[in-house]
Amino acid sequence: MSSVAFVFIAILTLAAALAAVTLRRLIHAALMLALSFLGLAAFYFFVGAEFVGLVQIFVYVGAVAILIVFTILLTRRETETTKPLHWFAGGAIALLVFVALAWAISQSPALAVSASPRPSISVKQIGETLMTGYVWPLLCLGLLLTAALIGALVLVMEEKR
């Protein structure tokens, strides 16, 4: 039962990602990217990290996908000049990397671990960990997000002439 679900989610995610990187029209690619993010969220649900899955949907589908779509609209005039050579070279390198990674994964003896019983990690537990052990990273993250917000605004602000 769970392996059926796994295969389904994996095929959905990978097919959507493949479509996102190969489609010609940018908007379709962005929508497919959102679909593959949803598939990833399903993965997180599948391994028992519900909170991460929800955050994934919230941040990626709700915010990043919208950002990408808005940027596409603001920068119309698609000038895609990917030549067959580009496709071939990029594809070959990516395939090579994949083969190397897959070989390494299949050879490694350290990965032959069986799963422990499904962990039940409550949102409260995550919140307490964030507020105790990870409070400095959290504060730094807040600073980083504020800086990114201001930076993005400054970048796209109309230049005064």
Sites for another protein among residues 63-122 (CB under 8 A): 63-75, 77-82, 86-87, 89-91, 93-95, 97-98, 101-102, 105-106, 108, 111-116, 118-119, 121-122
Of 155 and 160, the one with the shorter C-beta distance to another protein is: 155
Q: Least separation, in Å, of the C-beta of 11 and another protein? A: 10
Among 8, 132, 141, 161, binds another protein (CB under 8 A): 141
Q: At what angle are helices 26-46 and 65-74 packed, to 10 degrees? A: 170
Of 44 and 160, the one with the shorter C-beta distance to another protein is: 44
Q: Least separation, in Å, of the C-beta of 93 and another protein? A: 6
**What are the backbone dihedrals phi and psi of residue 37, each rounded to the nearest 5 degrees, phi first?**
-65, -40
Q: In angstroms, rounded to a whole number, what is the distance separating the alpha carbons of residues 116 and 111? A: 14
- 131 touches another protein (CB under 8 A): no
- 40 touches another protein (CB under 8 A): yes
User: Whose CA is closest to 53, among 37, 30, 35?
Assistant: 37
- 132 touches another protein (CB under 8 A): no
Please count the residues of this chain forming the interface with another protein, following the rule CB under 8 A: 101
Residues 6+ apart with CB under 8 A from 105: 111
Please, what's the b/e burial string for 78-100 (b: 16 or more CB within 10 A of its CB; e: otherwise)? eeeeeeeeeeeeeeeeeeeeeee
- 55 touches another protein (CB under 8 A): yes
- 12 touches another protein (CB under 8 A): no
- Quick one: CA torsion of 141, 142, 145, 150, rounded to 10 degrees? -140
